[in-house]
Amino acid sequence: MEIVRTVTVDRSIDQVWGYLSDFTHTTDWDPGTVRTERTSGDGGVGTRYHNVSKFLGRQTELDYQVDEFTPNEKLALRGENATVVAHDTMTLSGSAERTTVTYRAAFEFKGIAKLVAPLLAPALRRLGDEAEAGLREALTQL
């Protein structure tokens, strides 16, 4: 299951990258995120984050690791818990005046969660819509 959203804002790519490359900022723009904290690393490849989110009324925790870190271009993380593996990728393009961010969240469900995954599609699409709006608002305020 995958969600892809694109946001374009009148902010420099340096500003947007500086903000998004710190995954703890998810609390500002991702409506499901309760908190995200860096647990190790300097933000680059190998950095780890612990994320607590609410989804469908339940709290869930994922441990993320940065897999790709290309300044002003791409940030890719892999998160995992007992029921899901999440791949979050932010790809940037732009200039000193305007930046486009493509956010891709892919979910691989494990175990019994695989059986109910198709039923989660509408809720995940709604979460994607809310995250897109939150991301646009947060980036516009930079």
**How far is Cα 75 from Cα 82, in angstroms, rounded to an integer?**
24
- 11-21 mean pLDDT: 97
Dump pLDDT digits (tens) for 83-110.
Answer: 999 999 999 999 999 999 999 999 999 9
Are 7 and 19 spatial neighbours (Cβ–Cβ below 8 Å)?
A: no
The residue with tokens 């902010």 is 11
Distance in Å from the first CA to the final CA of the chain: 31
Give the least confident one: 26-30, 39-43, 60-64, 123-127: 123-127
Tokens of 26: 């998810």
φ, ψ of residue 29 to 5 degrees: the values are -125, -20
- 60-87 mean pLDDT: 97
Sort 106 into a burial class: Cβ within 10 Å, 0-12 / 13-18 / 19+: middle
Asked if pLDDT for residue 56 goes beyond 90, the answer is: no
Predicted pLDDT of residue 99: 98
For the chain, what percent of residues have pLDDT higher than 90? 86
Asked if pLDDT for residue 57 goes beyond 90, the answer is: no
What superfamily in CATH does domain 2-140 come from?
START domain (3.30.530.20)
Asked if pLDDT for residue 2 goes beyond 90, the answer is: yes
The residue with tokens 């469908």 is 56
Spell out the long-range contacts of 60-66 with Cβ–Cβ below 8 A and sequence spacing 24 or more.
Answer: 62/86, 63/39, 64/23, 64/88, 66/23, 66/41
Give residue 52's pLDDT band: very low, low, confident or very high (50, 70, 90): very high
Give residue 118's pLDDT band: very low, low, confident or very high (50, 70, 90): confident
φ, ψ of residue 67 to 5 degrees: the values are -100, -30
Tokens of 106: 């892919």
Domain boundaries, the chain: 2-140
